[in-house]
Structure 1
């Protein structure tokens, strides 16, 4: 029996379940040789420890390799840096154990307990100024909900300066603007194989009349078709200093997540935005201090 077959049989014998073992996954990824596995198994006999811990102690793999294998074992989707062609700022995809991703998980948990409790599904996100990082934050939040298994739809309702198509490296021909103009339907939604449970509706063709489009009854009709299909629907909207588009979207969604940029957004601007939203009857589901 050759070394590879012997090592793989040893891994299979210790699996104890239908899920591939860490060792098998690392071998499949080309991170371990059969000789490496033999050394790791020998060390495990000498010192009680997990396979990944033994591999790290021997220096035959990197911590990122073990974390990636663990994620696959537990059906937790994330990618190695550079893979997939997505924006590198998507921490929830590329850096799942980072401080930024932990903050997204905390935000997801708070919203799940508050706003999304009781059957609500829609939430808009906006900020005071251009460059406050709404698009990246809501993209990371959408990934975070999808990683939890929620059927999640991210809608790029920023019809003036859309970014979601670039963040997720999408080449969708049609999007929200086309759907609202009657030029496309829900077939414009892109399901992301790379992030299971996440779908994206890009902004689509740049329209000359974004605020009028967002105010049409067609928007309500589209939302009525989407709500039964998704557990969470997040809308990326333009900053309120440029346009009232965000109010048109948030008014329909029922609430807005306000994003402030660290060391940039002033307290007076946030107070003015809060007053404006309350005057329009729009609830604030939460506020986030963003440093993406």
Structure 2
């Protein structure tokens, strides 16, 4: 008999619309900066004259003349190359979301590098589609920071990406993205809410976040129910990538249960903070099961 859980379809009964294909518009950096800074024709001519005289790019000339900032130039580049990026100074984003604020930051480049490795390996197109669970041995290892920024760089490819905050012990994703969190994963798993639990992220059109919702008194019991596995299965059919932030392993078996239901796991440790014994123990537990191990990242954040 083919039975369907009520969670299976109703958890995201109103799925976010598919990301539209970017429309290529042949506009110059000068056009974008001019609009952003509302430069007059005289000021644009001043920038062009400086550009010709010194043999530099329009953005460099505008910055040299104090008619634009470096952040303005990065924003203009993001528009020209259809790269989702926080406009202006990125003040509306939490400083931890470096991939949304500064696309040329070395940390952002590191996240892109990890994304590339995953897409050529455990998350390659010829591999079974799985959700990626991010685990860490202890609190303060930077796992939530890592999960948020990894989700951002995946979404910047134009792929619909969902970040699930499954850390029902110390949830933080709703704070980082400044999204409502009255309902979320716990509401779905407990059967109290099945709609409006997936939140779009403004300025990052391909990124969505499912917060924890109310912190339950019985997180492990909720996660061990079949509902979470069914929910992940449904979400993988609606999103290109699903990334799951899990509780630190010191809180118990939550993270390992989540990893088993996601099918793919990566461990995040923190340099000079994480204890090697704890890291080795967590990796050993993951690799003994049926979960595919995607690797370990040593975080300096």
User: TM-score per shorter chain, which class?
Assistant: 0.7 to 0.9
Q: 1:275 to 1:229 in 2, by over 3 A?
A: same
1:83 matched to 2:97? The reply is: no
- Does structure 1 retain, via aligned residues, the 8 Å contact 2:229–2:262? no
Specify the structure having the higher radius of gyration (Cα): 1
Distance 1:59 1:81 in 2: 16
SS at match of 2:266: strand
What TM-score, normalized by structure 1, do the two folds share?
0.88
Structure 1 residue 252, shift from structure 2 partner: 1.0
What TM-score, normalized by structure 2, do the two folds share?
0.85
2:268 aligned to which of 259, 273, 291: 259
Q: 1:20 to 1:245 in 2, by over 3 A?
A: same
Residue 76 of structure 2 corresponds to which residue in structure 1? 69
Any residues of structure 2 matched to 1:1-292 within 5 Å, and which? 18-30=25-37, 32-46=39-53, 49-79=56-86, 80-84=88-92, 86-117=93-124, 118-292=127-301
Structure 1 residue 171, shift from structure 2 partner: 1.4
Distance 2:226 2:63 in 1: 58
Structure 1 residue 20, shift from structure 2 partner: 3.2
Higher helix share: 1
- Does structure 2 retain, via aligned residues, the 8 Å contact 1:258–1:286? yes
Tell me: higher relative CO, structure 1 or 2? Use CA pairs within 8 A at least 6 residues apart: 2
What are the superposed Cα offsets for residues 134-161 of structure 1, whole Å, 9 maximum, x if unpaired?
A: 1111000000100111110000000111
Distance 2:212 2:187 in 1: 8
Alignment size in residue pairs: 275
Where in structure 1 are there 5+ consecutive unaligned residues?
A: 1-16
- Name the Cα RMSD after superposition: 1.8
SS at match of 2:243: strand
- Does structure 1 retain, via aligned residues, the 8 Å contact 2:181–2:214? no
Where in structure 2 are there 5+ consecutive unaligned residues?
A: 1-23
Distance 1:167 1:244 in 2: 25
Distance 1:226 1:53 in 2: 44
Structure 1 residue 50, shift from structure 2 partner: 3.2
* More off after superposition, 108-117 vs 45-54: 45-54
Structure 1 residue 262, shift from structure 2 partner: 1.1
Distance 1:121 1:217 in 2: 17
SS at match of 1:287: strand
- Does structure 2 retain, via aligned residues, the 8 Å contact 1:156–1:203? yes
